[in-house]
C-alpha cells in the first residue's frame, strides 16, 4: 500500500509537467495510425485531408492522395471513441475536422481505457496462480516504473498501448482456449491474434505463448501436438482475421497509391542488422536502452530466471519471447526507435515482465531472509522514483548526437 501511494504521489510530476495537446496525441506516427478515421468519416478519402505532420505524409503525384504507410489496426480500436467525438463535434461549436478538442480528448481517453483495461486483464491472469498483493505490486511497478504511464497519458495515439491491451487479452484467453476449445472462443481469440500481428508484425513472436503455454516436457509437447491435430480446423481461424485485415489494407493502399503491391517502409533501410543485432544497445544504450530508462525491469528478469530455476514452465517461454523480440528490435536499422521515452517497443511486452516481478515478489515473500524482501521493496521504490522523475523531465527527442551519457547524467543528477 505504501508503494502504491508513493507511486501515485510522484506521478503528479509527470502530469504537471506535460502538455496534453494535439502535438502529442495525433502527431507523427500517432497521426498515421489515426488518419484512417477522419479520412473515412469526414473527408471521404485521402485526397483533401489536412495533416498535422505533412513531412511524414507526402502527397502521391499519381493519385493526389496523402500517403499513409501505417496500417489501420489501431484505428479499429480507436473507432468507438472517435465516433463519440465526431457526434459531439457535430452538435457543438467545435470544428468537425478530426483534430479539434473532442477528437484529441477521445484518443486521450482511448489510451487510458485500453491501458487500464490491459492492467486489469493482467491482474485476472495472474491472480489465479499468485497472491493478489504480489500481483498488485507487480502492476504498480510496471505502471509507474516503466514508460507505460507515458504512453497511456502522454502519447496515447501510438500503437503500443493498444498492443499492450491485445497481448494481455491473448494471455487471458490462452488457458481458456485449452480448457474449452469452442468455435466461439477460437473466433474471438483469432481476432485478438490477428490484430496483434496486423498492428505490429514483429509481435508475431508472442504467439509462441499460446503455442507452448505450460509445456515443460516432451510428454506435454506430444499432448500439445495431439491437441493441435484434434482442433486443426479451428486453428485455421487464427490466420483468417489477419488475412481479411491485410486484404482491406491492400485495397486501401491501391486506392491511395495506385499500386497493388507496395512495401510501406521502402524509404527506410529496414532490418540491416540481422547478422549482427544491436541487442546490448537495445538494452543498455543511452539512446532509449530498455534498462536505462526502466531499471525496474531488471528485477523482472531476475524473477523470470528464478522461475526458470524453479521449473515454472512459462518462465522459459517468456524469456524466449523476450529474447527473440530483442533480437528483432536490435536488427532494425533504428534499433533505438527514436522519438520515444525509453524503448517503446517493449511497452506491449510489459505483461510478460509483470510475470517476472510477481515471481520475484512471491518467492522473496516465502524466503527466510527478511533482508531480501526489504531490499526488493527498497529497489522498487528507488526505481519508480527514478522513472517518474525522469519521465517528468522528458522532452523529445532523447536520441541523436545531442543526447549523450553526459546529457543523460545531467538529467539524472537533477533528480538526485
Q: pLDDT tens across 308-361, in order?
A: 988 877 999 999 999 999 999 999 999 999 889 999 999 999 999 999 999 999
How far apart CA 154 and CA 15 sit, in angstroms, is 8
How far apart CA 173 and CA 247 sit, in angstroms, is 26
- Domain enclosing residue 143, as ranges: 2-415
Q: In residues, how long is the chain?
A: 416
22, pLDDT greater than 50:
no
Instruction: Determine the pLDDT at residue 12.
Output: 58
Contacts of 197 (CB under 8 A, 6+ apart): 203, 204, 207, 242
How far apart CA 321 and CA 20 sit, in angstroms, is 34
Q: Where are the alpha helices (DSSP H) in 310-345?
A: 313-331
How far apart CA 388 and CA 409 sit, in angstroms, is 16
6, pLDDT greater than 90:
no
More confident residue, 365 or 7: 365
Query: Are residues 85 and 103 in contact, defined by beta-carbon separation less than 8 angstroms?
Result: yes
Query: Are residues 333 and 273 in contact, defined by beta-carbon separation less than 8 angstroms?
Result: yes
How far apart CA 138 and CA 122 sit, in angstroms, is 10
Cell of 87: 457526434
How far apart CA 363 and CA 214 sit, in angstroms, is 19
More confident residue, 309 or 119: 119
How far apart CA 15 and CA 149 sit, in angstroms, is 10
- CA 103 → CA 7, 38, 203, 251, distances in Å? 30, 10, 28, 26
Question: Rounded to two decimals, what is the model's pTM?
Answer: 0.93
pLDDT, tens only, 24-68: 588 889 999 999 999 999 999 898 888 888 888 888 888 888 989
Per the structure, the count of domains in the chain is 1
Mean pLDDT, to the nearest integer, of 241-264?
A: 86
Q: Smallest Cα–Cα separation from 315: which of 279, 360, 348, 277? A: 360
Q: Smallest Cα–Cα separation from 296: which of 114, 149, 130, 112? A: 149
66: helix, strand or coil: strand
pLDDT band, very low/low/confident/very high, at 400 (cuts 50, 70, 90): confident
Amino acid at each position: 500500500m505504501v508503494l502504491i501511494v508513493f507511486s501515485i504521489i510522484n506521478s503528479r510530476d509527470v502530469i504537471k509537467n506535460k502538455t496534453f495537446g494535439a502535438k502529442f496525441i495525433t502527431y507523427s506516427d500517432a497521426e498515421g495510425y489515426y488518419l484512417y478515421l477522419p479520412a473515412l468519416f469526414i473527408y471521404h478519402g485521402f485526397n483533401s485531408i489536412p495533416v498535422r505532420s505533412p513531412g511524414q505524409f507526402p502527397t502521391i503525384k499519381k493519385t493526389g492522395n496523402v500517403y499513409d504507410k501505417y496500417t489501420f489496426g489501431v484505428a479499429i480500436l480507436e473507432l468507438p471513441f472517435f465516433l463519440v467525438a465526431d457526434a459531439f463535434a457535430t452538435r457543438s461549436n467545435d470544428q468537425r475536422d478530426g483534430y479539434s478538442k473532442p477528437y484529441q480528448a477521445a484518443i486521450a481517453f482511448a489510451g487510458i481505457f485500453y491501458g487500464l483495461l490491459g492492467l486489469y486483464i493482467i491482474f485476472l491472469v495472474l491472480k489465479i496462480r499468485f497472491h493478489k498483493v504480489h500481483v498488485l505490486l507487480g502492476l504498480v511497478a510496471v505502471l509507474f516504473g516503466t514508460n507505460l504511464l507515458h504512453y497511456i497519458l502522454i502519447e496515447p495515439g501510438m500503437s503500443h498501448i493498444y498492443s499492450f491491451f491485445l497481448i494481455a487479452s491473448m494471455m487471458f484467453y490462452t488457458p481458456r482456449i485449452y480448457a474449452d476449445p469452442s468455435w466461439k472462443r477460437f473466433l474471438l481469440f483469432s481476432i485478438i491474434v490477428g490484430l496483434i500481428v496486423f498492428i505490429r508484425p514483429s509481435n508475431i513472436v508472442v504467439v509462441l505463448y499460446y503455442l507452448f503455454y505450460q509445456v515443460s516436457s516432451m510428454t506435454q509437447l506430444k499432448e500439445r501436438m495431439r491437441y493441435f491435430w484434434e482442433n486443426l480446423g479451428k486453428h485455421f481461424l487464427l490466420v483468417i482475421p489477419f488475412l481479411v485485415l491485410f486484404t482491406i489494407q491492400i485495397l486501401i493502399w491501391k486506392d491511395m497509391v495506385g499500386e497493388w503491391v507496395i512495401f510501406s517502409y521502402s524509404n527506410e533501410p529496414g532490418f540491416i542488422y540481422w547478422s549482427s543485432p544491436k541487442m546490448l544497445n537495445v538494452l543498455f544504450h543511452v539512446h532509449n536502452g530498455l534498462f536505462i530508462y526502466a531499471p525496474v525491469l531488471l528485477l523482472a528478469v531476475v524473477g523470470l530466471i528464478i522461475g526458470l530455476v524453479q521449473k515454472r514452465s512459462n518462465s522459459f517461454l517468456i524469456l524466449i519471447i523476450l529474447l527473440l523480440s530483442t533480437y528483432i528490435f536490435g536488427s532494425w536499422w533504428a534499433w533505438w526507435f527514436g522519438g520515444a521515452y525509453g524503448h517503446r517497443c517493449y511497452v506491449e511486452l510489459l505483461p510478460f515482465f509483470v510475470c517476472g516481478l510477481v515471481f520475484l515478489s512471491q518467492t522473496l515473500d516465502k524466503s527466510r531472509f527478511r533482508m531480501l524482501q526489504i531490499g526488493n521493496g527498497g529497489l522498487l521504490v528507488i526505481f519508480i522514483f527514478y522513472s517518474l522523475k525522469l519521465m517528468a523531465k522528458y522532452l523529445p527527442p532523447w536520441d541523436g548526437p545531442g543526447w549523450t551519457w553526459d546529457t543523460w547524467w545531467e538529467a539524472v543528477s537533477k533528480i538526485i
